[in-house]
Amino acid sequence: MKKFTSVSDVENLQEIIKKALQIKADPLTETEKGKGKTIGLVFLNSSLRTRLSSQIAAQNLGLNVLTLNAAQEAWNLEFADGAVMNGDTVEHIKDAIEVLNQYCDIIAVRCFAGMKSKKDDVNESILSQFEKHAKVPVISLESATRHPLQSLADCITITENWKKDYKPKVVLTWAPHIKPIAHAVGNSFAEWMQEMDVELVITNPEGYDLDKNFTKDVKVIHDQDEALKDADFIYVKNWSSFDDYAAMPEVKGDWMLTNEKLARTNEAKVMHCLPVRRNVELSDEVMDGDYSIIYQQAKNRIFSAQAVFSEILDELK
């Protein structure tokens, strides 16, 4: 694997899921693999799971880890090409990446959607600068449009929880939120699930359809009750409008996932990437209930990252 920014960087999804599950069974079989090599984890946005799971994964492979919480600790970055830097910005992203090239064998970056310019977000204005200027493999720790390490962890979690002999019905359901949220997790989950042997259905209110470039021919149902019928897995996530970019059109009805709604499913397992707003996106009873596999998902972030870092290290040898 030469880089990891989307599912298209994975040659064989089933193989990498299998590898991640082998790592989970015995995480310390490759402790020498990253010896003498350094991974830079650059966070332009907040994180709990991605930061810590990536650090554990890298340490399990013997990698040196540099974590830069750029938004809090680094110089104020300029992203615009040709900018006259006589304002608040102190260091151009191009220069920062060139310096990271001197220190790191792998650069992993978190760069969320700015949610101000649809064009900038759709074109991955920050990740694309890393891809352009990095001279080492680039890994996405969540970008404007995708969250591939999360999606791989989601695939691992579904695989672990599915032993029946038919395709599971997986429902990606929109959930309420108090502020406009980016599309990366929803887009990415839709994209990865289309590579899995599942029946994917997306449900969201009118005005909240995700970008067709990610959902393609997946069925989108605007009636949550109908979509949840016979679901085997429910993935709960909020996102703002894509068409009316970052807007929050009025929503009719209550979309928060509750036990009452779960009763319509096929004893569906409930997933969420976290962090979650309890009693807004889903109820306490669901979060703490027997059908939640949400903490398992969070644990699998380690093995998703470790499988990817290991594959990238194979290329560096």
DSSP one-letter code for 9: G
21, 132, 156, 157, 256 from 300: Cα distances, Å: 9, 30, 7, 7, 25
Q: Per DSSP, which regions of 111-168 are E strands?
A: 138-140
Q: Binding to ligand CP (CB under 6 A): which residues in 240-279? A: 273-275
Tokens of 314: 């194979």
- Regarding 150 and contact with ligand CP (CB under 6 A), the answer is yes
Residues 28-47, interacting with ligand CP (CB under 6 A): 47
Phi, psi (degrees; rounded to nearest 5) at 100: -60, -35
Of all residues in the shown chain, the one whose CB is closest to ligand CP is 50
Question: Between residues 112 and 162, which has the closer beta carbon with respect to ligand CP?
Answer: 112
Query: How far apart (Å, rounded) are the C-alpha atoms in residues 218 and 187?
Result: 12
193: helix, strand or coil? helix
- The DSSP output letter for 249 is -
The least distance separating ligand CP from the CB of residue 112, rounded to whole angstroms, comes to: 9
Q: How far apart are CA 310 and CA 19, in angstroms?
A: 10
249 vs 275 by CB, closer to ligand CP: 275
Closest distance of CB 235 from ligand CP, Å = 12
**215 contributes a contact to ligand CP by CB under 6 A:** no
Which CB sits closer to ligand CP, 227 or 282? 282
- Min separation Cβ 52 and ligand CP, Å: 8
- Taking the complex as a whole, how short is the minimal distance between the CB of residue 273 and ligand CP, in angstroms? 4
Q: Is 145 in the site for ligand CP (CB under 6 A)?
A: no
Q: Using DSSP, state whether 120 is helix, strand or coil.
A: helix
| Closest to ligand CP by CB, 47 or 224 | 47
- The answer to whether 71 contacts ligand CP (rule: CB under 6 A) is no
Beta strands in 70-133 (DSSP E): 77-78, 91-92, 106-110
Query: Where along the sequence are the contacts to ligand CP (CB under 6 A)?
Result: 47-50, 142, 150, 273-275
